[in-house]
Amino acid sequence: MKKKRLMACLLAGTLAAGLLAGCGNGNTQNEGSEGSSSEGKTTIRFAWWGGQERADMTNEAVQLFMEKNPDIVVETSFYPYDSYYENLAIASTSDNLPDVFQSYIGSSELQQFQDGGLIEPLDTYVEDGLIDTSSISENLIAEGSVGDNLYGMPFGINTRAMVVNPEIYEQAGLEIPENGYESFEAMEADLAKIQEVTGKYASMDFFRHAGDGLKYYCRLQGETEFASEGDSLIGFSKETFVDFYTMRLKWAENGWIPPYDVTMAENGAEDSTLVKGESAVGVIPSNQFPNYEKAAGKDLQMILLPGASVSKATIVQAGAHLSIASTSKNKEAAAKLIDFLLNDEEANEILQTERGIPAADDIREAMTPSFDATTKKVSDIVDKALEYSSANDLPAMAGTSDIQKLIEEYEERIMYKDVTPEEAYDAIAEAASVN
């Protein structure tokens, strides 16, 4: 499928500057491969991942930018996520990365670009006032940094939150804790009662590694999932790993969460046990909440993750980052586009919350009165999470993507009881050693 999709993208043609055209593009001006047109305007290119709805919103915001900056032309393209970095890699081989591109600083997919010096540090543009960060939290700025340099600006923000079906809680005679549960252990009594009274699963299985369950549990213990330095790629102790999976096995054996095969078969909101009314709670990225509430056809609520209100383990993070290619010939124009997308109220009214709540506090505050009831819930949980959050983990060392896959493999074996958590940890720790 990936090869077919890539071929489809390749057949779509190329942008004038040499970047392979995405499966869709808009505002494309075929002028000037060196970043300027025959009319003397500056031309920059902007690429992101996502679907058609995101593209329509983004292109409309870009059109507004060009109206307000008539000396700049922006060429745009977008890709499905699974071919996005592949296309960027192809473009980078001939120094034709887009001037501005959507990224996620610290991700394994972006590491090759980071290591190759292909991402421009943004510190100078912030210091010179081209990119205004005065209304963006320091934790979010730190998340876009590697070492002493800033490489990405937060393009929409979200947090992981617990989604609750109030009807099931009411059936079980329970109240939803306003600030979330103080711990996973404190939550277990309610899980048991929900299962006993309603016969439903108490929760979606939000422990799975792919859903950041292990990462969050590590942060609760003052540890990290992956190390940023040292002689091991993992940052968690054997005790933390074993406790996490022992708890997860307990929840499965008690019928509080669905069987592992049911969990792994879920694909989006419509397939989830939460939306089907088969479980009382789940954990999702906050920007996905509108999809879940719409699919459920009823009012749902969001609260902080267990332990978040007492530990500051939760993270408010960028839905994506905006970065500038170091090979760009028009970095100031690129910085202007980034600043506009972050700090222009009209632009954010167009973009809405598709990538997450606006990162800038003043923009978020200005837009709140116009939010519908569902979006207001998303905004409220992000604001609450900001009160109880701490900075994201430092970027992991190279090689962690292989360890991540290994953890997922052992997670499956643990849940099917092929290995014990202790045995799994020992194997992972050995593979993660950098000696």
The token pair at 236 is 């968690």
The predicted structure's pLDDT at residue 23: 57
Of 116-130, 218-232, 388-402, give the lowest mean pLDDT range. 388-402
Nearest-angstrom CA–CA distance, 306 and 186: 8
The token pair at 173 is 């005679």
The secondary structure element, H or E, covering residue 146 is strand 145-146
Please report how many Cα atoms fall inside a 13 Å half-sphere around the Cα of residue 192, on the Cβ side: 7
Which segments of 252-320 are extended strands (E)?
A: 279-285, 301-303, 316-318
pLDDT tens-digit series, residues 124-147:
999 999 999 999 999 899 999 988
Domains annotated for the chain, with CATH where assigned, are 2-156+319-378 (3.40.190.10), 158-316+393-432 (3.40.190.10)
pLDDT tens-digit series, residues 43-62:
999 999 999 999 999 999 99
Pair 337, 100: CB distance under 8 Å: yes
What's the order of all strands across the beta sheet hosting 100-103?
24-26, 72-79, 42-49, 100-103, 321-324, 153-154
The predicted structure's pLDDT at residue 204: 83
How do strand 321-324 and strand 279-285 relate by DSSP bridges?
A: unpaired
Average pLDDT value for the chain: 88
| 3-class DSSP state of 119 | strand
The predicted structure's pLDDT at residue 267: 73
pLDDT tens-digit series, residues 248-297:
999 999 999 988 888 887 777 888 889 999 999 999 989 889 999 999 99
> What is the mean predicted confidence (pLDDT) over 189-216?
85
Q: Is the model's pLDDT at 431 over the cut of 90?
A: yes
The predicted structure's pLDDT at residue 11: 32
Instruction: Give the residue from 350, 337, 344 showing the smallest Cα distance to 44.
Output: 337
pTM value surpassing 0.85: no
CB 434: neighbour CB atoms within 10 A? 12
The predicted structure's pLDDT at residue 40: 83
The token pair at 354 is 């598709």
pLDDT tens-digit series, residues 157-183:
999 999 999 999 999 999 999 999 999
Confidence of residue 395 (pLDDT cuts 50, 70, 90): confident
* Euclidean distance between the first and the last CA atom of the chain, given in angstroms as a whole number: 38
The predicted structure's pLDDT at residue 62: 99
The predicted structure's pLDDT at residue 166: 96
> What is the mean predicted confidence (pLDDT) over 58-82?
97
Chain mean position to CA 236: 22
The predicted structure's pLDDT at residue 106: 81
What are the angstrom distances between the C-alpha of 185 and each of 155, 189, 242, 244, 248? 35, 8, 15, 12, 12
> What is the mean predicted confidence (pLDDT) over 115-123?
95
Looking at the chain, how many residues does it have?
435
